[in-house]
Amino acid sequence: MSDPFKQAAGIRKVLTAGEDAEGRLDAWITANLGEEFSRSRIKALIKDGQLTVNGQPVIDPQKKVRAGDQIEVLLPEPEDPTPKGEDIPLDVLFEDSDVIVISKPSGLVVHPAAGNWTGTLVNALIHHCGDSLSGIGGVRRPGIVHRLDKDTTGVMVVAKNDIAHRHLSLQFADHGRTMPLERAYQAVVWGRPRSLAGTIDAPLGRAVGDRTRRAVKRQEDNNADEAITHYQVLERFHESPDATALASLVECRLETGRTHQIRVHMAHIGHPLLGDITYGAGYKTKANLLPDSARKIVSGFGRQALHAFMLQFEHPTSGDIMHFEASMPEDMQELVSALRR
């Protein structure tokens, strides 16, 4: 009989179904193959003809497993990524065979997309550690489990293999409620929130008429995702006797991680981020209240004043609690110094 795999390159795994074997083929293989491959990946391999049962090719993931079945699956070598590696400098805080933690600079897009097919963090990571990527979903690429906006700076973790990708994805989906994930940001906002500490619980969804923007929605809206931000005022700038302030430095901790969450939430309570032309353009004239030297720096600040200074997570294989912090970038330090003056 000819080889049903057509001599394709890869790793062959042979499994034998025991007396208690039952259920769908894709589910059984995933449970018995270990954590290296996800069920969706196994399902795709079956449909692609990379599996035989008792020597016969099978392409139906829902086929039932029977006791004594000899199941052979071909696990192809990871394919090269579509994005190409580019020699873009990275500030690496930590790296091992499972994860890489970096401090992202302003202006760096995380993932290739329309308008930014090159020059992204993914391109940089493929160049930096492409040889150590073992393949995520069958492709030798970095596993992005969370994102920072192009002009937001700070700590990010990226997975280097399927096991790490799934483990980190679970932590970010859990939002730190039952797992040790923590995320904290520093932001400079206009004004001073009424309370020095508080929680913003306001669902978010796509803005009407503009798919790139997010907006606060009603709880019952089908387009609404739960979004919760905890904030604390750290410092007030140009405070008046009546306890108002021109601007404030706040720390925000995410209980959920929605697109533009901090930017939309702070604007929602009347305190948008300095430099945020998407959600706070109407506040830009407040800089005119500052002395000349400070006004020039504040008016010229060309991005939202947001920095992801802290990230904590559980290492996907060792179980160690990993804690990382990144200092406020120079442009935000200069902004804060100007406001203090």
What are the catalytic residues?
149
Look up residue 260 and give its two tokens.
Answer: 């533009």
Distance (Å, whole) CA 12 – CA 277: 54
Strand positions, DSSP E, 109-178: 143-144, 153-159
Look up residue 123 and give its two tokens.
Answer: 């391109």
Distance (Å, whole) CA 241 – CA 258: 37
Indicate the SS3 state at residue 1.
Answer: coil
Check if the beta carbon of residue 246 is closer than 8 Å to that of residue 253: no
Alpha carbons within 13 angstroms on the beta-carbon side of residue 34 total 7
Look up residue 214 and give its two tokens.
Answer: 């997010």
DSSP 85: P
Region at 55 (left for phi over 0; alpha for psi -120 to 50; beta for the rest): left
Distance (Å, whole) CA 208 – CA 131: 43
